[in-house]
């Protein structure tokens, strides 16, 4: 059943409790961008979306009976703006919340100038769906690293580094729910067709490190994967197979881009080729599907340049 944009849905996968998610309508595309809320003694918002529809997150808190002043934690898996773009808006609206961000990228939330420039270069004309992020006061930010834990009460967010997608990425393990908030480390889950898709944006994508991140997730061995893109997925005893499937998707995607580069001998033509692909158009619409493919192709081309 497709989610309604802005509707609060309980995460019922596995034995999850106290966890909810909303579809933020990211890029005007249903079932692409999720934000999670953990309703505990110290309530948390995990991921923050682009910022464009941050009001939907505030409305979700109200619907769950969580006062803005009660929110203690705003946690982002990495500082790409589809994950951290709303952090400044939420920090302004939730005055007692700390913003937990991976240490390598935390400074870009204080001064997002370079973050915005890099995002515009990566997403092209998709920038129209974004909003300029609000800078966050440095004293509101808690820098997190591998091995840290954010205490919410019954639940906690254990931090595991996962730098393959971006050098500043982590994932959050919630042991009480036997779940992991995956950021982009486990790919893009497309619930409508129950398939996993690659994510390989410029400029930090690194295949071998992404494969190591998959092994990290396998070692955690969660029952539930909470994808930012998109939604909770119960994997249970099949978690290794599910994650191995993503590793295969990534390896095949990189090989496909490399082969097309060898064939066309023109990177612009390679990007155009994948942008014209209609593979995901029936799910995301032609515009988003083409933009996603082009961005991912650019990321692989950059990786190949560094590797070779």
Q: Walk along the chain (308 residues) and give the pLDDT tens digit of each residue.
A: 567 999 999 999 999 999 999 999 999 999 999 999 999 999 999 999 999 999 999 999 999 999 999 999 999 999 999 999 999 999 999 999 999 999 999 999 999 999 999 999 888 889 999 999 999 999 999 999 999 999 999 999 999 999 999 999 999 999 999 999 999 999 999 999 999 999 999 989 999 999 999 999 999 999 999 999 999 999 999 999 999 999 999 999 999 999 999 999 999 999 999 999 888 999 999 999 999 999 999 999 999 999 88
CA distance 57 to 84: 13
**Domain enclosing residue 159, as ranges:** 7-248
Residue 289 lies in a domain: no
Residue 307 lies in a domain: no
- Name, in order, each residue with C-beta under 8 angstroms of 130's C-beta and a sequence gap of 6 or more: 50, 51, 52, 81, 85, 119, 123
Residue 223 lies in a domain: yes
CA distance 245 to 257: 18
pLDDT digits (tens, 9 = 90+) for 31-71: 999 999 999 999 999 999 999 999 999 999 999 999 999 99
**pTM listed for this prediction:** 0.97
What is the pLDDT, as a whole number, of residue 148? 98
Residue 293 lies in a domain: no
Residue 281 lies in a domain: no
Residue 186 lies in a domain: yes
Neighbours of 62 (CB within 10 A): 12
Q: Is 295 exposed, middle or buried (0-12, 13-18, 19+ CB in 10 A)?
A: buried
Q: How many helices (H) and strands (E) does the chain have?
A: 10, 15
- The label of the residue with tokens 């249970």 reads 236
- List the one residue out of 78, 85, 83 whose CA is nearest residue 132: 85
Neighbours of 268 (CB within 10 A): 8
CB 112 within 8 A of CB 148: no
Residue 89 lies in a domain: yes
The total number of structural domains in the chain stands at: 1
CATH number of the domain bearing residue 92 = 3.60.15.10
What is the pLDDT, as a whole number, of residue 39? 98
pLDDT digits (tens, 9 = 90+) for 249-288: 999 999 999 999 999 999 999 999 999 988 899 999 999 9
Residue 253 lies in a domain: no
CA distance 154 to 233: 22
- The label of the residue with tokens 């919410």 reads 152
């Amino acid at each position: 059943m497709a989610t309604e944009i802005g509707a609060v849905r309980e995460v019922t996968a596995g034995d999850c409790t106290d966890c909810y998610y909303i579809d933020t309508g990211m890029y005007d595309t249903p079932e692409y961008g999720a934000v999670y809320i953990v309703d505990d003694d110290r309530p948390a918002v995990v991921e923050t979306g682009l910022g464009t529809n941050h009001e939907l997150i505030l409305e979700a808190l109200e619907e769950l009976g969580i006062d803005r002043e009660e929110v203690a934690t705003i946690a982002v898996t990495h500082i790409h703006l589809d994950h951290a773009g709303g952090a400044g808006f939420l920090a302004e609206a939730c005055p007692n919340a700390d913003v937990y961000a991976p240490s390598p990228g935390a400074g870009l939330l204080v001064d997002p100038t370079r973050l915005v420039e890099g995002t515009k270069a990566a997403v092209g004309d998709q920038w129209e769906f974004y909003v300029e992020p609000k800078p966050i006061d440095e004293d509101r930010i808690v820098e997190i690293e591998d091995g840290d834990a954010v205490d919410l009460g019954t639940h906690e967010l254990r931090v595991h580094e996962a730098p393959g997608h971006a050098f500043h990425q982590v994932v959050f393990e919630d042991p009480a729910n036997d779940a992991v908030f995956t950021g982009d480390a486990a790919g893009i889950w497309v619930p409508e067709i129950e398939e996993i898709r690659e994510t390989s944006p410029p400029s930090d994508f690194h295949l071998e490190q992404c494969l190591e991140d998959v092994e990290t997730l396998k070692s955690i061995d969660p029952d539930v994967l909470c994808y930012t893109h998109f939604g909770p997925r119960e994997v249970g005893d099949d978690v290794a197979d599910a994650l191995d499937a993503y590793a295969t998707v990534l390896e095949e995607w990189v090989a496909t881009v490399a082969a097309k580069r060898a064939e066309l001998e023109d990177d612009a033509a390679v990007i155009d080729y994948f942008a014209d692909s209609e593979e995901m158009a029936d799910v995301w619409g032609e515009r988003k599907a083409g933009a996603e493919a082009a961005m991912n192709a650019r990321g692989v081309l950059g990786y190949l340049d560094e590797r070779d």
